[in-house]
Amino acid sequence: MSKDTAIVRSAAAAEDSLFPPVEARASGHLAVDAVHRLYWEESGNPDGVPVVFLHGGPGGGVGPQFRRFFDPTFYRIVLFDQRGSGRSTPFADLRNNTTGHLVEDIEALRTHLGVDRWLVFGGSWGSTLALAYAEAHPERCLGLILRGIFLCSDPEIDWFLHGMGRFFPEAARAFAGFLPEEERCDLLGAYYRRLADPDPAVHGPAARVWSAYEESCSRLIPTRSLAAADPGAAPAASSGRPEPALALARLEAHYMINRGFLDPGQLMAGLPRLRDLPVTIVQGRYDMVCPIATADAVARALPDCRYVVVPDAGHSALEPGIRRALVEATQDFRRISGP
């Protein structure tokens, strides 16, 4: 792989490259402690190369569309909902919910499924978790495919809360305007207090506003265009139901206010542990949620990685150019890992 940046051709004329829908062939819940039970599922080839999909958010959960990044004849596809997310229980629960716990959960699931090593695929918060896991357990990784890299640093969190408004001022006004004027000097603290409140009358409206703010800033291509191409493209938070919005907003605020439960600079400092692994980074040029500067810094620290910049995409994994580049990445890994 070359350290040079690969600029993929425009997605405007590209056909949808996701693999056809595939059903899960096995699923279950794994108890990882006295509180949490994780939903997991498998699809694809039971004897294939294992790949684990780490969803974003945190709190975003998985859906059937995410199976479609992988050739089901080649990959043993493992998806799971992280603590408090999706079909894992208890829902939107903050107890024992830290990055360290999530890294341990991935190892527990790997052992439970009898996987020796697997390809780790994660975007946005999933890239944070993928890096934390791979740096802790490089011997259990076949490689990494990362999208929209986020390291949970103070500048990135500040950008999410304040910087995105430079490009989406109307969304930022709605986000800040939900709060009383006297609380707008501390957006994260004010939202976190509401989102952690057990009363649905308090946390529900805050969750919907938080989720709408993020969604408004996530795409270069409008959501309706994605939905036309793939009815499963719209994230759970956009469905209008308060439950998915709560997990996304509550867990994102929880991790942000705790700086990802990471030491400053921890993930960048651990990158040398990954230099023997094949790594592909896919980044939207106009990603406003996780700006390209972070992906670029990680790519410079991993000189043998493949760094793909999609010129006409924002943050969402399901924008046409991003999904095409991600499928190409899984196919490239197939070519280097076996027949």
**169-177 helix and 200-216 helix, angle to the nearest 10 degrees:** 170
Q: What is the DSSP letter of 181?
A: G
What's the gap between Cα 14 and its chain centre? 24
Cα–Cα distances (Å) from 82 to 57, 87, 202, in that order, read: 10, 9, 24
Q: Which residues, listed in sequence order, are joined to residue 80 by a DSSP beta bridge?
A: 40
User: How many CA atoms lie within 13 Å of 172's alpha carbon, on the beta-carbon side?
Assistant: 14
User: In sequence order, what are the residues at sequence separation of 6 or more whose Cβ sits closer than 8 angstroms to the Cβ of residue 247?
Assistant: 57, 59, 60, 61, 84, 85, 86, 91, 92
Name the region of 269 (left: φ>0; alpha: ψ -120 to 50; beta: rest). Answer: alpha
In angstroms, rounded to a whole number, what is the distance separating the alpha carbons of residues 299 and 307? 6
Show Cβ contacts of residue 280 under 8 Å, excluding neighbours closer than 6 positions: 1, 143, 144, 145, 146, 305, 306, 307, 308, 329, 332, 333
How many other C-beta atoms are found inside a 10 Å radius of the C-beta of residue 170?
A: 9
Residue 157 to residues 56, 58, 104, 153: CA-CA distances in angstroms? 15, 13, 24, 6
Selected catalytic residue, list 88, 287, 312, 316: 287
- Decide if 55 is catalytic: no
Catalytic option among 124, 153, 211, 316: 124
- Structure token digits, residue 100: 């360290």
* Token pair 């605020």: residue: 253
- In the numeric block, the tokens 């986000």 are attached to 175
Alpha carbon of residue 141 to chain centroid: 18
124 is catalytic: yes
Q: Which of 218, 254, 315, 316 is catalytic?
A: 315
Answer yes or no: 81 catalytic.
no
Tell me which residues are annotated as active site.
124, 287, 315
